[in-house]
């Protein structure tokens, strides 16, 4: 792969950056449309009701990969860092597909808790949603810069991307654990 410093790399890098911006806008918009669709796709069957449970497992594994990745980078084990970040990235992509399938085919579940716990739940849910909506942009850039060995750019964006990604991943699991008693299927 060409380095960003070669003369031919700038147009290619600009094209990649445009794709990252496009994907970072398109996916949150598509998810929002799916969440608020007036009619769900019911032809997929009841198996989709297993997906929230699978998503929690995927998010847990992604969280563990993210934590391992930070340990590896601090130990200067860059190949292991890259491998665990790639695992987290792939798990994130699988999660996104599963999440879209579920929300395209099933109604959202309402939280049934009352009192202080409902405030905690909604705080976590709202911050999770807000950060998830913006997370893709810095994550994709961080992954791209890491993959292309542009370490300075990678370090700069990771300061934002990593904590957002970890927060979204962990709070996804916490929100699932809090709402899972209210699933009807």
Convert the pLDDT of each residue in 94-130 to its tens digit.
Answer: 999 998 888 888 888 889 999 999 999 999 999 999 9
> Distance between CA atoms of 66 and 165, rounded to whole angstroms?
8
Q: What is the pTM of this model?
A: 0.84
**Structure tokens that stand for 93 in this block:** 């992509």
Convert the pLDDT of each residue in 45-84 to its tens digit.
Answer: 788 889 999 999 999 999 999 999 999 999 999 999 999 9
Residues contacting 172, CB < 8 A, separation 6+:
55, 56, 59, 128, 132
Q: Which fold has domain 47-182?
A: 1.20.120
**Structure tokens that stand for 18 in this block:** 């445009």
Domain segments of the chain as ranges: 47-182
> Distance between CA atoms of 166 and 133, rounded to whole angstroms?
14
């Amino acid at each position: 792969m060409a380095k960003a410093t070669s003369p031919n790399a700038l147009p290619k890098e600009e094209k990649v950056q445009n794709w990252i911006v496009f994907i970072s806008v398109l996916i949150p918009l598509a998810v929002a449309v799916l969440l608020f669709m007036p009619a769900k796709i019911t032809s997929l069957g009841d198996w989709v009701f297993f997906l929230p449970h699978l998503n929690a497992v995927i998010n847990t594994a992604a969280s563990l990969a993210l934590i391992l990745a930070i340990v590896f980078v601090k130990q200067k084990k860059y190949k292991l860092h890259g491998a665990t970040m790639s695992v987290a990235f792939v798990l994130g992509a699988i999660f996104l597909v599963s999440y879209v399938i579920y929300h395209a085919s099933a109604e959202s579940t309402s939280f049934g808790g009352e009192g202080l716990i409902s405030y905690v739940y909604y705080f976590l849910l709202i911050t999770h949603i807000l950060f998830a909506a913006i997370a893709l942009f810095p994550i994709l850039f961080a992954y791209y810069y890491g993959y292309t060995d542009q370490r300075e750019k990678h370090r700069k964006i990771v300061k934002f991307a990593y904590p957002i990604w970890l927060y979204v991943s962990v709070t996804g699991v916490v929100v699932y654990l809090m709402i899972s008693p209210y699933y009807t299927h």
